[in-house]
Amino acid sequence: MKVGFQYLTNVSSSTRATDRQRCSNLYATSCATDPDIASREAYSSEMLVDSFGRFHNYLRISLTERCNLRCQYCMPAEGVELTPKSELLSPDEIIRIANLFVTSGVDKIRLTGGEPTIRKDIEDICLHLSGLKGLKTLAMTTNGIVLSKKLPKLKECGLNALNISLDTLVPAKFEFMTRRKGHSKVMESIDASVELGYNPVKVNCVIMRGMNDDEICNFVELTRQKPINVRFIEFMPFDGNVWNVKKLVPYAEMLDKVRQSYKGVERLQDHHTDTAKNFRIDGHVGTISFITSMTEHFCAGCNRLRLLADGNFKVCLFGPSEVSLREPIRAGVNDTGLKEIIGAAVKRKKAKHAGMFDIAKTANRPMIHIGG
């Protein structure tokens, strides 16, 4: 099925509502907000269940390999070779693949990159994805550089969850870590997200020893008066980011730092598929979390799959295995055939990743190619 992207993004609210309905009519599985939406079980299929019984209801879609920052843990200093535009998924191909996943049981999609907000058609993509019936959450991970300007339209187009990446609260250090200016723009985007009613606004912070581990409690302060969830992420190895275990600050050490400075740090009940260990602090409106991929992996509850900008399908962030969905689409394979390819890849997913030292020695793509 084809969905045209011919209409403009700067249209009125009434036109957007009409377009959302039109999108709903084009797909048999449209309109996520309908009150008569069927249960997840009605959509779920064996395509999304791996050999260990894990049901994958969360798809991360990388919309671009391009970015307006050059973060040290994400991209090599010399940059990366970009995939030719002809080998990237078209908007129609993205929607078609997303529709296959949603009709099979995926109820959460996260848009990543590169930096997804630099796409000129980002509002259109959000509008079409949010119209897929059965999709409950349309989220985005962004660096926040241009987000504040685009966010009102993005929210109108169905974007209902946000993660903003920010690794330092010091402008000069931000420029060093990202090799670009823009700290104030990110802070503006965080404030704009709160003002527009996103709750929580998730702030992703990769902690690296000797770089920003002295700012942990400063980040905690962001949660005192605003509905912000600061997510402290253990430094992970990817091609080109010069990972070293000495740079890794373990979750236990980060948590200890917080507990030394704050009273009433209470662990919250986590869902079995959560990547984060979540905590609240007495007197704080927001919360803090820790992503412990290296020291305490959460593979047993993994429910995530990844679609890369070039159309490759990846079942594990740290695994090198990928299978192309772009090639069979362009060869004329129908939806049934695509589902068979996807299902076979999911069945090959391993029980857990290899561990941080083996991951560091395994060939994998830079994070900017995989999608944050």
Sequence-ordered list of residues with C-beta below 8 angstroms from that of 308, at least 6 positions apart, any chain = 62, 314, 322, 369, 370, 371
Average pLDDT over residues 229-240: 79
- Given the DSSP bridges, would you call strands 312-314 and 323-324 parallel, antiparallel or unpaired? antiparallel
pLDDT digits (tens, 9 = 90+) for 133-183: 999 999 999 999 999 999 999 999 999 999 999 999 999 999 998 888 999
Which CATH number do you get for residue 292? Answer: 3.20.20.70
Is residue 11, in this structure, part of any structural domain at all? no
The CA distances from residue 202 to 134, 261, 287, in Å, are 24, 22, 9
Instruction: Find where tokens 């390819």 sit.
Output: 341
Residue 28 lies in a domain: no
Residue 58 belongs to domain spanning: 46-370
Q: Where are the alpha helices (DSSP H) in the chain?
A: 13-26, 40-43, 91-104, 122-130, 147-156, 171-178, 183-195, 216-221, 251-261, 326-330, 335-347, 356-361, 367-370
Nearest to 233 by CA among 372, 62, 110, 358: 372
Using one digit for the tens of pLDDT, what is the confidence trace for 245-254?
Answer: 788 999 999 9
CA dist., res. 298 & res. 290, Å (int)? 12
By percentage, how much of the chain surpasses pLDDT 90?
Answer: 66
195 domain residue, yes or no: yes
Domain count for the chain: 1
Q: How far apart are CA 10 and CA 245, in angstroms?
A: 47
Structural domain includes residue 13: no
C-alpha 97/C-alpha 335 separation (Å) is: 9
To 5 degrees, how large is the angle CA 232–CA 223–CA 264? 85
Asked, for residue 41, whether it belongs to a domain, the answer is no
Would residue 330 count as lying in a domain? yes
More confident residue, 49 or 77: 49
The predicted pLDDT at position 344 comes to 97
- Is the separation of the CB atoms in 126 and 19 below 8 Å? no
Is 308 inside a domain boundary? yes
User: Does residue 137 fall inside a structural domain?
Assistant: yes
Question: How much is the pTM?
Answer: 0.85
pLDDT digits (tens, 9 = 90+) for 299-313: 888 999 999 999 999
Q: What is the pLDDT of residues 97-122, one digit of tens each?
A: 999 999 999 999 999 988 999 999 99
In angstroms, the CA 182 to CA 76 distance is 19
What one-letter code names the amino acid at 106?
A: V
